[in-house]
Amino acid sequence: MTDTPVLLSLTNITKRFGPLIANNAISLDLHRGEILALLGENGAGKTTLMNILFGHYVQDEGDVLVLGDGGLAALPPGSPGAALKAGIGMVHQHFTLAENLSGLANIRLGTEPLLSFGREGDARAKVKRIIAESGLDVDLDRRVADLTVGEKQRIEILKALYRDAKVLILDEPTAVLTPQEAEGLFVVLRRLAANGLGVIFISHKLGEVLAVSHRILVLRGGTKAGELVTADADRRAIADLMVGKAVAEVVRIPALPGETLLEFDGVSLHAGGRQALSGVSLKLRAGEIVGLAGVSGNGQSGIAALISGLAVPTSGTMRLYGEAVAKASPRDFVMAGVARMPEDRQHDGVVGTMSVADNIAIEDVRSPAFSKMGLLDRKAMRERASAAIAGYDVRCPGPDAEARLLSGGNVQKLILARVLEREPRVILANQPTRGLDVGAQAEVHRRILAARDRGAAVLVISEDLDELFALADRFVVVHAGELSDAGPSEGLDRGTIGLMMAGQARPPVGIAS
């Protein structure tokens, strides 16, 4: 592959954020027709590098060179417009689509003189041609808000191809896809590369990197840890390059399930003007972890809202310790010993401008532990916070530091400290390790397993199948608001779960309990 011309070259890119060096003298070349994987843990500097390449950030040192008519030329830093013009297309992890416009409108956006008329026909013809060549089939006239995640991603890729991109960058493109949809994406990418496109594929998932790429560049802690040809790569070696040190496997002992603590019985939920859940039944038993798999947006948030006390079933019954829950009250759930970790911890988990101590006490602030006659007991709050900081290794300047200054991993530890300290009987862990580095991940997993072993009933919702395999005693899959029966995780393979996530298969015989 390295015999084709270089499309893009990064030379010694360095980017600092205050004392943190996000990228340290990183260089790479991308050739025509090549799929280059950028592999690394969260926080390794992948996204920063791509944001520099695309002009969202300005590098402190180094150059981005792109092949133009006169050979390789440096891009002016900090200009997405220049990057686009030079033929770089980027598909962000969070889509950059105007949801109130059609797919075609999003593709045309910014490609025509601002005051011009009647160019839609030409645009449509060109997009149709690209669709035919690439296989990226999608309805161009529907509002983006009404498209599925996979379709939105296709619009994003079409946006780049419509601008005659020479280089396509995809940032964690499979995070929102089922395994089958991801396979479909790989087919498209191989086809595009065969037609001469250069592709940079950013991922932290080793398996798919090995499946789709020609060459792999491993980043670790902001520096280039290694560069290798995929065909010669050894899985174990890459994993070591990526992580840098051997991470102790979390040891798991078999579950000893006890009585049912939380039960969904034919639960349906209507939320946001649509049916979020229909006829869901599920039992969470003491001393057992249930893993909930599914493509995001298939009903996970409905289940999480119910267990968080933010909603009550529209029909059917949710029973906590055998009693039907009649009223949506997060406070009642907290008081009843339900620990809840929110999916979006920065948004729902902490009040950023309040202190660590405030955020640890926030669920309990009315209890006698932290207030008397409506007056706060600041001393008790600070003591509790100090204990939590020590016990859960929350890295922060102290109990009075504002929570917004904490990193994602430390916010999650803060939330763990807040909810686990009360020895909860039921635990909802919604995307418990999303965005955390390996060390923090292991810590969170250890805490969750310890809570299970203590006798808590746990539901783990995750998009990361590896995480579910590491934690879950039983598996359920949610698709289109319906839940599969819960089966033991032993004997399950990823393919089966993937099909269930896509709604194409019932659990195999033997799983259904």
Partner 1 sequence: MSFRLEPREHASVGLKLTVSLAAGIVALLLVAIPVLSAGGSPIEAYGLMVQGAFGSMFALSETLNRATPLILTGLACAVAFRAKLWNIGAEGQLYIGALAAVCVGSGLLQLPPALMIPTVMIAGFLAGGLMMVIPTIIKQRFGADEVVITLLLNFVVILFIQMLVEGVLKDPLSMGWPQSVPLIAEAKLPKLLPRLRMHWGLIVGVVAALILWLMVRKTVLGFEIRAVGENKAAARFAGIPVDATMLKVALISGGLAGLAGVGEVAGVKGYLSADLSPGFGYSGIVVAMLAGLSPIGTVISAVFVAAVFVGADSMSRATGISSYIADLVVALSLLCVLVGSFFLRFRVKFERRQVGA
Partner 2 sequence: MDALFDILGSANFWAAAIRIATPLIFGVLGALICERAGVLNLGIEGIFVAGAMAGWLAVYLGAGLWGGVLVAALAGALFGLLHAFLTVILGLSQHVSGIGITLLATSVSYFTYRTALPDVTSPPRIAAFQPLNIPGLSDLPFIGPALFQQTPLTFLALVFVVLVALVLYRTPLGLAIRAVGDNPASVEAQGLSVVGLRVGAVVAGSALMALGGAFLTMSAFDAFFFGMVNGRGWICIALVVFASWQPGKALLGALLFGAFDAFQIRLQAQIGQVVPGQVFLMLPYLLSIVALILVARRADYPRALLQPWTKGQRH
Q: Which helix (H) or strand (E) holds 103?
A: helix 103-108
Q: Which residues bind partner 1 (CB under 8 A)?
A: 11-12, 18, 58-63, 308-310, 329-334, 340, 342, 347-354, 358, 362-363, 365-366, 371, 374-376, 402, 405
For residue 380, the partner it binds in partner 2, partner 1, none, with Cβ less than 5 to 8 A by kind, is none
Contact 219, 49 (CB under 8 A): yes
- Closest separation in Å from C-beta 123 to partner 2: 10
- Closest separation in Å from C-beta 83 to partner 2: 8
End-to-end Cα separation, the chain, in angstroms: 51
For residue 375, the partner it binds in partner 1, partner 2, none, with Cβ less than 5 to 8 A by kind, is partner 1
- Which CA distances in Å does 311 have to 168, 307, 482? 42, 8, 17
Nearer to partner 2, 117 or 245 (CB): 117
45, two tokens = 């500097």
Burial degree of 106 (CB within 10 A; 0-12, 13-18, 19+):
buried
- Closest separation in Å from C-beta 50 to partner 2: 11
Q: How far apart are CA 282 and CA 457, in angstroms?
A: 12
- Closest separation in Å from C-beta 244 to partner 1: 27
Nearer to partner 2, 119 or 235 (CB): 119
Count of alpha carbons within 13 angstroms of residue 338, beta-carbon side: 25
Q: How far apart are CA 396 and CA 409, in angstroms?
A: 11
For residue 327, the partner it binds in partner 1, partner 2, none, with Cβ less than 5 to 8 A by kind, is none
Nearer to partner 1, 332 or 421 (CB): 332
Query: Can you state the angle between helices 149-162 and 179-194, rounded to 10 degrees?
Result: 10
- Closest separation in Å from C-beta 90 to partner 2: 7
Nearer to partner 1, 308 or 462 (CB): 308
β-strands 323-324, 315-320 pairing = antiparallel
- Closest separation in Å from C-beta 27 to partner 1: 12
Whole-number CA gyration radius for the chain = 25
Nearer to partner 2, 342 or 424 (CB): 342
For residue 60, the partner it binds in partner 2, partner 1, none, with Cβ less than 5 to 8 A by kind, is partner 1
Nearest by Cα to 398 from 349, 362, 356: 356
Q: Where are the alpha helices (DSSP H) in 323-459?
A: 330-335, 356-361, 378-391, 408-420, 438-453
- Closest separation in Å from C-beta 353 to partner 1: 5
For residue 454, the partner it binds in partner 2, partner 1, none, with Cβ less than 5 to 8 A by kind, is none
Nearer to partner 1, 207 or 352 (CB): 352
For residue 351, the partner it binds in partner 1, partner 2, none, with Cβ less than 5 to 8 A by kind, is partner 1
- Closest separation in Å from C-beta 401 to partner 1: 9
For residue 159, the partner it binds in partner 1, partner 2, none, with Cβ less than 5 to 8 A by kind, is partner 2
- Closest separation in Å from C-beta 482 to partner 1: 26
Nearer to partner 2, 90 or 476 (CB): 90
Q: Which residues bind partner 2 (CB under 8 A)?
A: 51, 56-57, 80-81, 83-85, 90, 92, 94, 96-101, 105-106, 108-117, 119, 159
For residue 466, the partner it binds in partner 1, partner 2, none, with Cβ less than 5 to 8 A by kind, is none
- Closest separation in Å from C-beta 398 to partner 1: 12
- Closest separation in Å from C-beta 132 to partner 2: 23
Contacts of 121 (CB under 8 A, 6+ apart): none
Q: How far apart are CA 77 and CA 12, in angstroms?
A: 14
Nearer to partner 1, 180 or 371 (CB): 371
Bridge partners for 428 per DSSP: 340, 459
Q: Which helix (H) or strand (E) holds 499?
A: helix 494-501
Nearest by Cα to 506 from 485, 475, 480, 489: 485
Nearer to partner 2, 109 or 231 (CB): 109
Count of alpha carbons within 13 angstroms of residue 67, beta-carbon side: 14
For residue 340, the partner it binds in partner 2, partner 1, none, with Cβ less than 5 to 8 A by kind, is partner 1
Nearer to partner 1, 191 or 422 (CB): 422
Q: How far apart are CA 270 and CA 314, in angstroms?
A: 6
Contacts of 459 (CB under 8 A, 6+ apart): 262, 284, 289, 290, 292, 303, 307, 427, 428, 429
For residue 430, the partner it binds in partner 1, partner 2, none, with Cβ less than 5 to 8 A by kind, is none
For residue 51, the partner it binds in partner 2, partner 1, none, with Cβ less than 5 to 8 A by kind, is partner 2
Sign of CA dihedral 391, 395, 397, 400: negative
For residue 347, the partner it binds in partner 1, partner 2, none, with Cβ less than 5 to 8 A by kind, is partner 1
Q: Where are the alpha helices (DSSP H) in 117-244?
A: 120-134, 149-162, 179-194, 206-212, 235-243
Nearer to partner 2, 104 or 177 (CB): 104
Nearer to partner 2, 51 or 278 (CB): 51
- Closest separation in Å from C-beta 375 to partner 1: 6
